[in-house]
């Protein structure tokens, strides 16, 4: 029985290797992913702050919520979207008179705050084509229409009216960025601010106001840095997967997504909301063959907890994530 000692030694070694391999697989499959260095980097966890305050470019100190005014604009754009789209392409000052939503944007310029997407959170926090909900698409379209009206006034030599419209589109962008419950709201807000700022800079150059030109240039430089920071985070948070490289990105940062949902770690509300929405996608893909079953299981449990979060935006995101179906997941762009 014990004659073949070498055989038993080999068998023993094989047994240890097999059990060791099984243990490694067990740990890999059943333990949730830890955050990476990227996820624990304090720069990525801090609240977003622009280097130069938007209020130094356009005063927005009047008390009051501009949200109801912007709501009028959104409703008008949603009812007349082809008209706004056509105007942005080739509209004239005469055409601008038919855009009822423009007046509210001008009126809201100096107000200090605005609840825009959070007026209808269930409509605006979820999964949409190119991450842009209908209300955001509408208000961004209106902002670009206001900017075009400013350009038309400037071309006609109406400097005062041009300035008023550039300030209004800038102020809308600033309020979108200030609210920023989702990434695309912040991104479009920066876009409107940059467009308005560049036009206001041209007016300042005309007036030879060097100090104002310098302030605007500093602001724009800061928004470029902010955009770069946002895009780096968005690449990680928004990754859907589906191919080898994309799946590896999802799997590598799965632990970061769990980490980002925790208010004790993540100070920027927008990223908590986006990470919560990402958990909904984890139900169907945590990184293909690179992913861990434990991450997929943990995502749904965590979403149940986030449904009770103190922040309405996070609760809304958790609800949308839990309701996400496989068919809807396949349509995400």
Q: What's the pLDDT tens digit per position in 99-112?
A: 999 999 999 999 99
pLDDT at 289: 87
pLDDT at 21 exceeding the cut of 90 = no
Residue 173's Cβ-count burial label (10 Å; 0-12, 13-18, 19+) is buried
pLDDT at 9 exceeding the cut of 60 = no
Q: Is 132 in the same domain as 157? A: yes
Report if residue 169 sits inside a domain. yes
pLDDT at 206: 93
Q: What mean pLDDT do residues 293-300 have?
A: 94
- Structure confidence at residue 244 as a pLDDT band (50, 70, 90): confident
pLDDT at 7: 52
Q: Is 76 in the same domain as 123? A: yes
pLDDT at 2 exceeding the cut of 80 = no
Report if residue 216 sits inside a domain. no
Radius of gyration over alpha carbons of the chain, in Å?
25
Give the chain's domain count. Answer: 2
CA dist list (Å): 76 to 53, 118, 142, 175, 243 = 30, 18, 9, 19, 41
- CA dist 271 and 87 (Å) reads 34
What digits encode the pLDDT tens for the residues 162-193? Answer: 999 999 999 999 999 999 999 999 999 999 99
Report if residue 57 sits inside a domain. no
Q: Is 75 in the same domain as 192? A: yes
Q: What mean pLDDT do residues 68-75 have?
A: 97
Q: Is 100 in the same domain as 14? A: no
Q: Is 241 in the same domain as 125? A: no
**11 vs 220: which has the higher pLDDT:** 220
Q: Is 82 in the same domain as 192? A: yes
pLDDT at 19: 43
pLDDT at 94: 96
- Structure confidence at residue 309 as a pLDDT band (50, 70, 90): very high
What digits encode the pLDDT tens for the residues 102-153? Answer: 999 999 999 999 999 999 999 999 999 888 999 999 999 999 999 999 999 9
pLDDT at 3: 52
Q: Is 79 in the same domain as 30? A: no
pLDDT at 290: 87
Q: Is 171 in the same domain as 256? A: no
Q: Is 12 in the same domain as 128? A: no
**216 vs 21: which has the higher pLDDT:** 216
Report if residue 289 sits inside a domain. yes
What digits encode the pLDDT tens for the residues 264-284? Answer: 999 999 999 999 999 999 999
Report if residue 217 sits inside a domain. no
pLDDT at 26: 41
Report if residue 202 sits inside a domain. yes
Q: Is 69 in the same domain as 199? A: yes
pLDDT at 25: 41
- Structure confidence at residue 4 as a pLDDT band (50, 70, 90): low
Q: Give me the domain span that covers residue 170.
A: 64-178+186-207
What's the number of CA atoms in the CB half-sphere (13 Å) around residue 194?
A: 15
pLDDT at 16 exceeding the cut of 50 = no
Q: Is 99 in the same domain as 30? A: no
Residues in CB range of 159: below 8 A, 6 or more apart? 153, 203, 206
pLDDT at 288: 87
Report if residue 278 sits inside a domain. yes
Q: Is 43 in the same domain as 72? A: no
For the chain, where are the alpha helices, taking DSSP H only? 5-30, 37-40, 42-45, 67-79, 81-90, 93-96, 102-107, 121-124, 134-155, 159-179, 183-206, 210-237, 244-252, 254-260, 269-282, 293-306, 312-323, 326-331
Mean pLDDT computed over every residue of the chain: 91
Report if residue 9 sits inside a domain. yes
């Amino acid at each position: 029985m014990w004659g073949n000692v070498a055989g038993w030694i080999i068998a023993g070694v094989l047994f240890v290797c097999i059990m060791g391999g099984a243990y490694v697989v067990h740990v890999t499959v059943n333990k949730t992913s830890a955050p990476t260095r990227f996820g624990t980097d304090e720069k990525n966890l801090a609240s977003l702050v622009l280097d130069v305050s938007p209020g130094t470019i356009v005063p927005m100190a009047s008390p009051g919520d501009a949200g109801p005014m912007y709501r009028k604009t959104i409703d008008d754009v949603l009812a007349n979207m082809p008209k706004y789209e056509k105007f942005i392409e080739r509209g004239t000052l005469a055409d601008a008179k038919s855009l009822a939503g423009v007046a509210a944007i001008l009126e809201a310029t100096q107000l200090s705050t605005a609840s825009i997407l959070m007026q209808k959170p269930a409509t605006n926090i979820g999964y949409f084509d190119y991450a842009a909900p209908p209300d955001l698409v509408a208000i961004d379209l209106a902002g670009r229409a206001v900017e075009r009206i400013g350009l038309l006034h400037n071309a006609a030599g109406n400097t005062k009216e041009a300035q008023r419209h550039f300030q209004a589109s800038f102020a809308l962008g600033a309020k979108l960025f200030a609210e920023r419950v989702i990434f695309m709201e912040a991104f479009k807000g920066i876009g409107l601010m940059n467009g308005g700022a560049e036009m206001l800079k041209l007016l300042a150059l005309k007036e030879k106001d060097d100090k104002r030109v310098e302030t605007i240039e500093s602001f724009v430089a800061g928004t470029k840095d902010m955009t770069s920071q946002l895009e780096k985070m968005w690449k990680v948070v928004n990754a859907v997967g589906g191919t080898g490289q994309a799946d590896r990105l999802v799997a590598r940062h799965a632990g970061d997504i769990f980490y980002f949902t925790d208010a004790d770690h993540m100070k920027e509300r927008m990223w908590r909301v986006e990470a919560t929405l990402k958990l909904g996608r984890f139900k169907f893909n945590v990184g293909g063959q690179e992913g861990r079953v434990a991450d997929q299981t943990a995502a749904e449990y965590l979403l149940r907890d986030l449904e009770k979060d103190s922040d309405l935006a996070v609760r809304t995101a958790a609800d949308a994530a839990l309701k996400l179906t496989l068919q809807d997941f396949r349509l995400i762009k």
